[in-house]
Amino acid sequence: MSYKILISPAKNLRKHVFNDHDRLSVPPFLAEAKLVHRSLAKCTHGELVDLMSISAKLASESKQMIKLWDHNFLYRAVEMFDGEVYRGLGIDTLADEFNDVLSDRLRILSGLYGILNPNDLVAPYRLEMKTKLPVKKAENLYQFWGEKVAKHLKKDTDILVNLASDEYSKVVLPFWDKDKVITPVFMEENAGKPKVVMMYAKNARGKMARFIIEHRIENLSDMRGFDLDGYRFDKEHSVENRLVFLR
């Protein structure tokens, strides 16, 4: 049985150039990414503000990244993103001995690149999957990517461990057998009514990805042994492949 762990990218980026390019790979949908980038490059500063619902300052930063994109492929994908998921994953402290497992198991969904191997060589960008950016004949990124990402995954994947947000998993899950998707959910005890606190949940998603990688998990039922930061598998609130972890 082959499985892949799906995570989302992050809005915040770390500008840490990765020098060992011999270890890096080329994004599988680079040609498609260039089409998306071309559409982005046509946007004015004001259009970026409206399209992405961001401040003028962030739009200026985005415009600069768009301008430099073709000349800035200097970053290892898994190191470039900086958010709660990536803090939980803690790539800086993951031993080199796990790099093969990381490369084999983890995939990052992306509005610009479609899907990334953690060791893909990328350039900084700002583009959420939900952005209604027209590309070619597609009205938005979901239409543009269509089944491409799911078909790519199906070449060597049976099961998905979905640690991505709804915004990003939506580019894959509609084209996947729901019985072959395992979704861990991280919740906080709240007066007898467990609730998801997104900041904590995102961090826990990263820690779960690391847990799977470091334990070289083959039997996905072993995911239920995840016990970091006080979380425990909660059988009562879990339903089929929706695995609830509560603390």
The 10s digit of each residue's pLDDT in 44-55 is: 999 999 999 999
Q: What is the pLDDT of residues 53-102, one digit of tens each?
A: 999 999 999 999 999 999 889 899 999 999 999 999 999 999 999 999 99
Give backbone dihedrals phi and psi of 88, rounded to 5 degrees, phi first. Answer: -70, -40
Per-residue pLDDT of the chain (247 residues), as tens digits, is: 799 999 999 999 987 787 777 778 999 999 999 999 999 999 999 999 999 999 999 999 999 999 999 988 989 999 999 999 999 999 999 999 999 999 999 999 999 999 999 999 999 999 999 999 999 999 999 999 999 999 999 999 999 999 999 999 999 999 999 999 999 999 999 877 899 999 999 999 999 999 999 999 999 999 999 999 999 999 999 998 999 999 9
